[in-house]
Chain A
Amino acid sequence: METIDKPLTKNMCAGRAFATLADYESGGGYQGLRKAISSLSPQEVQQWVQNAQLRGRGGAGFNTGQKWSLVPMDADAAVIRYLIANADEMEPGTFKDRMLLEKDPHQLIEGMIIAAYAVQAHIAYIFLRGEYRLAAQRLETALLEARSKSYLGKHVLNSDFKLDIYLHTSAGRYICGEETALINALEGKRATPRAKPPYPLVSGLWGHPTVVNNVETLCNVPHILHYGVDWYLSLGRGADKGSKLFGASGRVKHPGLWELPMGTPIREIIEEHAGGMQDGYRLRGFLPGGASTDFLLPEHLDVVMDFDAVAKAGSRMGTGAIIVLDDKTCPVQMLLNLEQFFAQESCGWCTPCREGLPWTVTLLKAILAGHGRLEDIDTLAGLTRMMSPGNTFCALAPGAMEPLQSALKFFRADFEGYITGNRAVMESG
């Protein structure tokens, strides 16, 4: 058998707009599902995925099989459980799920069917952000095809397992990516996060046990079943296993998205795959995993893209979407753009986030307009503490503080320059 080292993108060939059902099946598609349904119990599927050490690709990095094993599995057939694919990709800088959804929709569907089988859910939803119109069309078509070939329905592949998957398109709000806010949104409520516990795995959608997994996470599952745990474990280069979509954007020569082994050094992504910086620009820093991760510096280029390795360097791997800061873009202005995003997208439910983020924006604007005082830098640092993990209802505000706290550490002179007059202030404030 040929060596498969890029399972997630193996069906995405040049000259093919997207993988049709026939393309997907001829590439080994739905073989993982056949194996799961015909020869493995739900608990065995959970164990396979746990043994493969697949960690959640939405950013949190929790072991997916272990997450599934926390779902109460009463044998009572009347017990309702739900599976939700989180396709509400809205983390600035991140564009991996869009590619998976548009170019190989059956990969997600197969992953969802296997996941639903593993937790014995009979209804599943794809929670898709409203802006992904092309993805919505391709998923609707793929769902019809899957129903017509008995991958979905009352008897999945002629077994006793029944499942249907519905597509829910949202209407654009970042907080819906938080799993309990997503569940409220799906129920037809304002999408504010819920208190935990109870965790959705025990009490989620309409009070029933609910698993929420990221699109990319679910896309890994068919391959683990088809090619096996040992194969999956062999894919990683470092501590973490499998492959992942890594992106680079900003002033690099070739912005893009590549499927690479977990544990790939950041230097390789920026310098080889993205071709290095554009002519005339130097690398000043980067956000390694989307807008809500701490800045790292050129000295961190040899850090590898593993959850724990990036954490040890002082940031998070997040979504694996690297946003590059060049030497001609002002980090304070970049911060203002980032914090305006978070302030706008805050759901307004808890006070530190609702009040703290607009305050952050106000202070940054004042500094950039030349009205700042040196004490404002201390106030900003105080805000990063006030909105740190544990002080807010969900992870939005702590995420918003990650680029700010690291910018205050690494680019303090830029902030001070606007205040002491060593730096030209922004014309429009």
Chain B
Amino acid sequence: MKTSSENSNFNGLEPVEIEEINAEMSHYEDKAAVAIEAMKIVQKHRRWVSDQSLLAIAELLEIPTAQLEAMATFYNLIYRQPVGKTVIHYCDSVCCWMMGSDQLQESLCRYLNVELGGISADGEYTVLPIVCLGACDHAPVVMAGDELLLDVTENPVSRILGR
């Protein structure tokens, strides 16, 4: 498990996080069902799910930590390591691959001077692969933060970063 600066100053989930998680509980018979949403809520506030956050969520939902960890590590969009402010997911599935996703990834990492999965020096960006984003008629595609960008062929970096 990774250590981070959060280890020393984690004081439990914030009231706003708990409130948002509790609001989801009314939708289900069993509060364990909120697990994915809870991790996404925590991630929205903290960018990633640290060990301490994971333990706190498991306690709140009254589920074994191992059950939650089995889910946390299962999903492409739950980050168990720190990430940059904006995560740039480039699609590496078949249609985008055919239309040049390998080159797209290289130019992104080169421009941001960041390794795949790492954080750029200014703390702004992380580049990660993602499976098919469901926009294959506009390949290659990228999801930068919440935004889906289509036909990212020319000047991909400036289009994504707006620079």
A-to-B contact residues, CB < 8 Å: 89-95, 97-98, 125, 129-134, 166, 168-174, 185-191, 206, 247-251, 255-257, 291, 321, 323, 329, 334, 337-338, 341, 344-345, 347
Contacts and interface: CB of A to CB of B under 8 A. Distances in A.
Given A171-B40, A187-B32, A341 B131 contact: yes
Interface in B108-134: 130-134
A171 B72 CA distance: 9
Nearest to B40: A171
B161 interface: no
B139 to A, nearest CB: 6
B40 A97 contact: no
Interface string B123-149: 000000011111111110001001010
Interface stretch (B4-12, B14-22, B73-81, B152-160): B73-81
Contact of B139 (A98, A166, A249): A249
B139 A187 contact: no
A132 B143 CA distance: 10
Contacts of A131: 77, 89, 130, 133-134, 143, 148
Interface residues of B, number: 42
Contacts of A93: 93-95, 132, 136
Interface of B: 27, 29-37, 39-40, 61, 63, 67, 70-71, 74-78, 89, 92-95, 97-98, 130-139, 143, 146, 148
Contacts of A91: 132
Contact of A133 (B75, B137, B148): B148
Contact of A188 (B71, B97, B146): B71
A91 B134 CA distance: 8
Given A171-B77, A173-B76, A256-B137, A92 B71 contact: no
Interface centre among B78, B93, B133 (most CB of A within 10 A): B93
B148 A188 contact: no
B30 A206 contact: yes
B147 to A, nearest CB: 8
A98 B131 contact: no
A98 B134 contact: yes
A171 B71 CA distance: 10
Contacts of A168: 27, 36-37
Given A189-B32, A190-B70, 16 more contacts: A90-B134, A92-B132, A93-B94, A93-B95, A94-B132, A131-B77, A132-B134, A168-B37, A171-B39, A172-B131, A186-B33, A189-B67, A255-B137, A334-B98, A341-B93, A344-B131
A130 B95 contact: no
Given A169-B40, A171-B40, A186-B33, A92 B76 contact: no
Contacts of A249: 95, 136-137, 139
Given A188-B33, A341-B93, A251 B98 contact: yes
A170 B137 contact: no
A159 B54 CA distance: 44
A190 B71 contact: yes
Contact of A130 (B61, B77, B93, B135): B77
Nearest to B145: A133
**Across the A-B interface, the 7 shortest Cβ-Cβ residue pairs:** A188-B32, A172-B76, A171-B75, A255-B137, A249-B136, A92-B93, A92-B132
14 contacts: A92-B93, A95-B134, A95-B136, A95-B137, A97-B134, A171-B76, A173-B75, A185-B36, A188-B32, A191-B71, A247-B137, A249-B95, A323-B94, A337-B94
